[in-house]
A and B are shown apart, each in its own frame.
Chain A
Amino acid sequence: MKTTKTTPAVPALKKKGLKPDTHITVLLSMMAFVLLLMAVLKPGSYFTISNLRSMIFQFPEYGVLSFGMMICMIAGGIDLSLVGIMNLSGVAAALIITNMGGTNASIVLGCAVALVVGAICGALNGFIIASLSIPAMLVTLCSLQLYTGLALAITGGPAINNMPDAFKNIANGSIGPIPYVLFIFIAVALGMAFIMNCTVFGNEIYFLGSNARAARYSGINTLRVTVMTHMLSGILGGISGILITSHLNSAKSSNGSTYTLLTLLIIVLGGVHPDGGKGKVMGVTLSVLLLQLIANAFTIMRAPDTFKTFVNGCLLVAALILDVVLEKRAAKKAAKS
């Protein structure tokens, strides 16, 4: 039994070149390093169920956002308006839910509207970028103002609070010890991995980001792919909007304002190339977890927040340098074969 199973597996592995990705190895070892360090420094308070739970409650909202940023960057662009989309969707959902009296039906409708708002905002970004060939950075920088301003105009300034318990439960509740949001994050990550690896659309995102001109000459509808990419990014923004509104029991235009730079840090650390065409869901997922481990370590150590920013900065610089070094090594290896 055993031999029949293993023999065909070995050549298949070789053929597919499933050797461990260097970048992922690096991320995993960094995570192991943080865990080891904390095991030595604070074994009592770091490795507890309650600490683990507190971590899980935190990362999914910006983790989901990071996937949106990821696909836009792989497609050769960027989405700086994600936080704006997140808050606008959150405000839309909160408005519907509170105005409809917080029934379960209103929650379902509110969440659906959040996703639709996200999709529309994203599609608008994508359409402007692709149809007028304006750089994504400019378009989304402007639309960040647009969406944030719209959310602000709708709420008139103060946050929408007093969400119903069932809604608050989305980001704060759990099944046994496991928070719901972990399942949501895992579902999003698996869904993204499937899209990027197993669908035509995912491959077209990579093609577009690698060489937009060649993509056009290969018959790829670059307008459609750009719109769809930003639309998906917008939907992910909508999911984040639901999560953050539920988590904070508040929808307003200025929630999560640090997330834009944080998500950029995450995806670059996760191996997404700023020039487009390169990046993996696995890398971004690990990067989200790594940053959460580090952030949590700082909290446990009661280290000042200011120092955390410095460490994040170091990580980003290290990731950039590492990328170049790894690329050079890969080029040498390629010259070999």
Chain B
Amino acid sequence: MADEVFLKLKGIKKSFGGVHALNGVDLEIRRGEIHCLAGENGCGKSTLIKAISGVHRVDEGEIWIEGKLCNKMNPIDAINKGIQVIYQDFAVFPNLTVAENIALNGEVKNKTKLVNWKEIHRVAAEAMAQVGAEIDPDVKLEQLSVANKQMVAICRAIINDAKFLILDEPTTALTAREVEKLWTVVRALKEKGIAVMIVNHKLDEIYQIADRLTILRNGAYVSSGPIHEYDQARFTRDMTGRDISQEKYLPKASEEEIFRVENLSLPGAFKDVSFSVHKGDVLGLTGLLGSGRGEIGEALFGIEPAQSGHIYLNGQEITIKNVADAIHNKIGYVPEDRLTEGLFMDRSILDNTIATSIRKYFHGIKLDKAAMEEATDRWIREIGVVTPSSKPAVRTLSGGNAQKVVISKWLNTDPKLFILNGPTVGVDVGAKSEIHAILRELAQKGIGIIVISDDLPELLQNCNKIVVMRDGRVAAVVDNSIEQKELSDLLMGRAE
């Protein structure tokens, strides 16, 4: 039994300053198994990976690799012991070719002075054959898709006699098909006796691939076991520490119309789009990439305004030609790319919260800093941003918390219509359900809510009305009683 175990961690603790990033983590990785490490953002997954790969030295606890105590590893030691990590950005060289990317590491490691091009091609071809990848070895990395870059990173990792491969959230940027392909490769590695640990928090993907699962929460070990011991409820409970309702949103139907668009068109993006939002509605807007779903959001917020059509808010027709118009009409927009469009990462939570509403704090001749602080503190409490104060830079927050700050920013402008584009992308389960609860509450208060998303389960659970876009037109408007399969067919255009 003992020699089956490749890696064993016991009571690992690591703190930065006064904060325990890891507070007693146990983990056991067996040879040739596929192990999933799950947990919400900020639960210590990345710190744990860095501890295993020798980047961080642990404060307490034991790291056993192949039966040897290895507490004082550096990254080179870890690689020599066969531990390879593939981070989310893959750390590949975009301006080098596939073959160079795969083989150069080995050349450097073997202290070769001269580059042997034949050898490089041989090594690259061999590595690709091992994982079953078929990529032209002479293409530069920057020309490859995300999935192929990942393949190259995997090939590079295994040529150095890897025994244990860690994949950090490998599926975030992949399409469903690419994920399938990745799993094939992972299974091939497993066949060769290589242990693979996948960091992931999507349960359906974990079911597809994992043999065993370990869940962390707040830097501590929660549970571990074979995958079949986990159902959806236990998984969510272990991840978040509480039960999360899967209840569908079914508001009382209201006659009171809040928002309506008629025949909204923007050539090249969408055409003749009409829909309405009533009081209490959380409207979902979905479609495949390129269907125009995102463009409608940007048009209603004035980023790329519609060229024709009518927009009514609370019974009044409004025109939106730019962002200022949208804000003037009390329309809020949470953009799809939170990091570059939604947030000032280096500025404080306070700055981010009042960024759009700063004018209302300008009294007499100066800004009322106390009122700004009070408002921010109120939103931190109401929305539930996990932070000691309003001072820390948003950069230090997890994805879910950062998204709550973006939401606070708009709520502080008292919006009448609130459009959210991909509100829960990269947000963990707990924060996700909190954000959903906030949206429901806002809808009940009479604020029009539009959620733009391609996360079908999310839409079906939270939106009582779903507008399906296809090729720039409204293909269907449905309620959330339909099955996910039907909705997906509508998106693809396989049904009417």
Contacts and interface: CB of A to CB of B under 8 A. Distances in A.
A250 interface: no
Contact of B366 (A198, A210, A336): A198
Given A200-B359, A211-B343, A219 B324 contact: yes
Contact of A334 (B344, B359, B362, B396): B396
Given A216-B323, A219-B323, A337-B392, A199 B16 contact: no
Nearest to B348: A17
B232 to A, nearest CB: 33
Tell me whether chain A's interface is mostly helix, strand or loop, or mixed. helix
A99 B284 CA distance: 71
A334 B393 contact: yes
Interface string B297-341: 000010100000000000000000001101100000101000011
A194 interface: yes
Interface string B335-359: 1000011111111000100011011
Contacts of B212: none
Interface residues of A, number: 31
Interface in A234-270: none
A245 to B, nearest CB: 32
A218 B366 CA distance: 21
Contacts of B333: 217
A223 to B, nearest CB: 10
Interface in A181-214: 194, 197-200, 203-204, 206-207, 210-211, 213-214
B16 A335 contact: yes
Nearest to B409: A218
Contacts of B301: 217
A302 interface: no
Given A207-B347, A334-B396, A214 B323 contact: no
Contacts of A215: 344, 355
A280 interface: no
Contacts of B395: 334
B68 interface: no
Contact of A214 (B344, B358, B373, B393): B344
Nearest to B365: A198
Contacts of A333: 17
Contacts of A199: 362, 366-367
Given A217-B303, A219-B356, A277-B346, A332 B324 contact: no
A221 interface: yes
Nearest to B337: A213
A206 B389 CA distance: 21
B391 interface: yes
B391 A211 contact: no
A326 to B, nearest CB: 14
Interface residues of B, number: 38
B362 A210 contact: no
A15 B303 CA distance: 37
Interface in A67-110: none
Contacts of A332: 16-17
A278 interface: yes
B388 interface: yes
Contacts of A218: 355-356, 409
Nearest to A17: B391
A220 interface: yes
Nearest to A198: B366
A217 B338 CA distance: 10
Tell me whether chain B's interface is mostly helix, strand or loop, or mixed. mixed
Contacts of A213: 340-341
B19 A336 contact: yes
B267 interface: no
Interface centre among B335, B343, B346, B365 (most CB of A within 10 A): B346
A277 B348 CA distance: 12
Nearest to B343: A214
B18 interface: yes
A278 B346 contact: yes
A211 B340 CA distance: 7
A129 to B, nearest CB: 19
10 contacts: A197-B367, A198-B366, A203-B351, A217-B323, A218-B355, A218-B409, A219-B327, A220-B355, A333-B17, A335-B16
Contact of B358 (A15, A203, A211): A203
Contacts of A206: 347, 351
Top 5 nearest A-B pairs (CB, nearest first) are: A336-B17, A198-B366, A219-B327, A210-B344, A218-B355
Interface in B165-207: none
A204 B17 CA distance: 33
A216 B388 CA distance: 29
B324 A277 contact: no
Nearest to B367: A198
Interface string B9-20: 000000011110
Interface string B374-407: 0000000000000011011101100000000000
Contact of A200 (B16, B324, B358): B358
B344 A335 contact: no
B393 A203 contact: no
Contacts of A334: 392-393, 395-396
Interface in B56-101: none
A61 to B, nearest CB: 28
A226 B123 CA distance: 54
A214 B367 contact: no
Given A198-B366, A206-B347, A214 B16 contact: no
B473 to A, nearest CB: 27
A213 B341 CA distance: 5
Contacts of A221: 324
A37 B105 CA distance: 53
A206 B393 CA distance: 14
B43 to A, nearest CB: 15
B99 to A, nearest CB: 36
